[in-house]
Amino acid sequence: MKVITIIKISLWVVCALLPNVLWAGSFQTELEQSNWRYQGDKFSCQIAHDISRFGEISLVARPDASLTLNLNSQWLNFEKAHSFAQVVVPSWHQTQHESFPTFKFQAKNKQQTSVADDKLGLYLKAIAKGYTIEVTVDNRIGEQFSGIANSVNSQNVIEQFRHCYAQLLPKPYSYVRRIDLIFDSGSSQLNSQHEQDLNAIVEYVQADSTIERILVDAHTDGNGHHLANLVLSKERADEVASRLVELGLAIDMVDVRHHGERMPLVANSTEKGRSINRRVTVKLVKHSQGVNQ
């Protein structure tokens, strides 16, 4: 009895003195329950896979942004870990000698880590072919955990994601919520960049029912007579508003104002400053916002 007690105490002491003993765990969902889920609209597209007792991995596309691979877990601390993702090609596919990049995650908080890269499109190809996505988390004290997302009958989900990806809005709300259209000196003519931005605004407003008003405020630099500048700013405002309506916006959604040279953003003492002031600002107002912004 004493010998057993001594052994137990000895083992406890060894464990206490060796806190960095390597421990590894591998997690995956049962194959028959393993699947990628799709959801999407014009604002974002996502496929996600739950890994039993480990967390969730998801691949997300958003307007005008690189694909993002996210890993979420309720019990892993990503702020104190090295994490990466890789594709594992099944042994029965090895003859194809396909190569996929390994991506290193950057922690966003304790429960979420992510990586953004256009090359993540290759992971869509891998999932569609039935390859495995494996994520590994090394917590820097010798413990390593891996989560395995199997891809079974995933071709339809990938096709839905790709179709959604192709239909995404050209720009996110963070871009279209306020845009300054810069004009040439003395001109009210729209250029190709203006057209791209106005198209992006219209597509966004048509997709987002929370947008209530579009404010168009036109300005000039300080060159010339102030009355002539007031007329020029009105011409610029009317040109932008008319184009928004031509592209599909309801005319009663657009509030048009012109200010001439009265509200410069910067001093008109340099050509750079004057070019900044020759602007038409287009702002989107949501239901919860006021129009005096």
Examine the domain organization and report whether 153 and 178 are in the same domain.
no
Residue 223 lies in a domain: yes
Examine the domain organization and report whether 189 and 281 are in the same domain.
yes
Q: Which of 45, 48, 39 is nearest to 61 (CA)?
A: 45
pTM attached to this predicted model? 0.84
Domain limit, last residue, from 108, 142, 166: 166
Count: domains in the chain: 2
Residue 184 lies in a domain: yes
**DSSP category for residue 22:** -
Examine the domain organization and report whether 127 and 207 are in the same domain.
no
Asked if residue 108 lies in contact with residue 146, where contact means CB atoms within 8 angstroms, the answer is no
Q: How many CA atoms lie within 13 A of 105 on its CB side?
A: 31
In terms of residue numbers, what domain contains 93? 23-166
Could you write out the DSSP letters of every residue in 102-118? Answer: -EE-EESSSSEEEEE-G
- Report which residue type is found at 279: R
Host H or E run for residue 155: helix 155-166
- Number of residues that this document lists for the chain: 293
Distance of CA 259 to the CA centre of its chain: 36
Euclidean distance between CA atoms 104 and 86, whole angstroms: 9
H helix runs in 18-56, sequence order: none
CATH code, domain carrying 261: 3.30.1330.60
Examine the domain organization and report whether 121 and 187 are in the same domain.
no
Examine the domain organization and report whether 249 and 177 are in the same domain.
yes
- pLDDT truncated to tens, each residue of the chain (293 aa)? 454 544 444 444 434 433 433 456 899 999 888 999 999 999 999 999 999 999 999 999 999 999 999 999 999 999 989 999 999 988 776 656 788 999 999 999 999 999 999 999 999 999 999 999 999 999 878 899 999 999 988 999 999 999 999 999 999 999 999 999 999 999 999 999 999 999 999 999 999 999 999 999 999 999 999 999 999 999 999 999 999 999 999 999 999 999 999 999 999 999 999 999 999 999 999 987 654 44
Distance of CA 283 to the CA centre of its chain: 21
What are the distances in angstroms from CA 226 to CA 221, 232, 238?
Answer: 10, 10, 18
Domain limit, last residue, from 166, 191, 223: 166
Domain limit, last residue, from 166, 199, 220: 166
Examine the domain organization and report whether 160 and 184 are in the same domain.
no
Asked if residue 15 lies in contact with residue 21, where contact means CB atoms within 8 angstroms, the answer is yes
**DSSP category for residue 119:** G
Examine the domain organization and report whether 146 and 191 are in the same domain.
no
